[in-house]
Amino acid sequence: MTSDDGRSLLRWGVVAGPFYLGLGLAQGLLREGFDFARHPLSVLANGSWGWVQTANFVLSGLMVLAATVGFTRALGPKSRAFRWSLAGYGLGMLMAAIFPADPVDGFPPGTPMGMPTSISTTGLMHFVAGALTFLMLGISGLAAAWTMMRRGRTPLALLSLFSGLSVFIGFFGGIASPIGVAGIWFAVVVGWAWLAVLSLAYIKA
């Protein structure tokens, strides 16, 4: 049984994805030069309005950490791999806020088109943060699948397995293949949807 305090924290797991994606989509629609087919949301941290995306990373990461505490109270000590990897996901988002991505492919306006020929130290750190963030998100899905299966919650186990594999295939396949940004978008949307569904299931438990 999930405590009332645990439920209140798990609500952040439901809110985090819609908040992150909603604010990101709004920025992408309003900011000149941004193209959803070519640019990940990370590059929105550049330019005069870049602080909005930085705040998006920070607030969303804190929501994930809050949800992690909620899962700790709901699941107990035997879900360590799931909880620590989910916490790693939240911390990775905070790291991405500290180290913004480099301007790329025409965004912000005035940036040369195409991929840059060099990368700044900050940009490299953002790339590392992004890789670690998606790695932790994928692991948390697979770890949750094991936890849910042991608890007899087969639908949640299958959903978690799908999410973990989708994140790995979408993100790491995207950066290594022609699907590019589309793969990253797929990983982001599936990962946030999984967290919302899993959080909601334990709010109702």
Q: What is the pLDDT of residues 154-181, one digit of tens each?
A: 999 999 999 999 999 998 876 656 567 8
Residue 3 has pLDDT above 70, yes or no: no
Question: So what's the pLDDT on residue 56?
Answer: 98
Beta-carbon count within 10 A of 77 CB: 7
> CB burial class (10 A; 0-12, 13-18, 19+) of residue 156?
buried
pLDDT in tens, 42-95: 999 999 999 999 999 999 999 999 999 999 999 988 889 999 999 999 999 999
Q: What is d(CA 88, CA 103) in angstroms, rounded to the nearest whole number?
A: 26
Amino acid, single-letter form, for residue 35 = D
Task: Calculate the CA dihedral of residues 185, 98, 114, 168 and round it to 10 degrees.
Answer: -30
Q: Average pLDDT in the 118-132 region?
A: 93
Question: So what's the pLDDT on residue 150?
Answer: 93
- Among all chains, which residue has been given the structure tokens 């770890």? 143
Q: What is d(CA 41, CA 24) in angstroms, rounded to the nearest whole number?
A: 6
- Which positions ≥6 away from 118 have C-beta within 8 Å? none
Domain of residue 165 covers 4-203
Q: What is d(CA 191, CA 134) in angstroms, rounded to the nearest whole number?
A: 9
How many structural domains does the chain have?
1
pLDDT in tens, 4-36: 667 899 999 999 999 999 999 999 999 999 999
Q: Based on C-alpha coordinates, what's the Rg of the chain?
A: 17
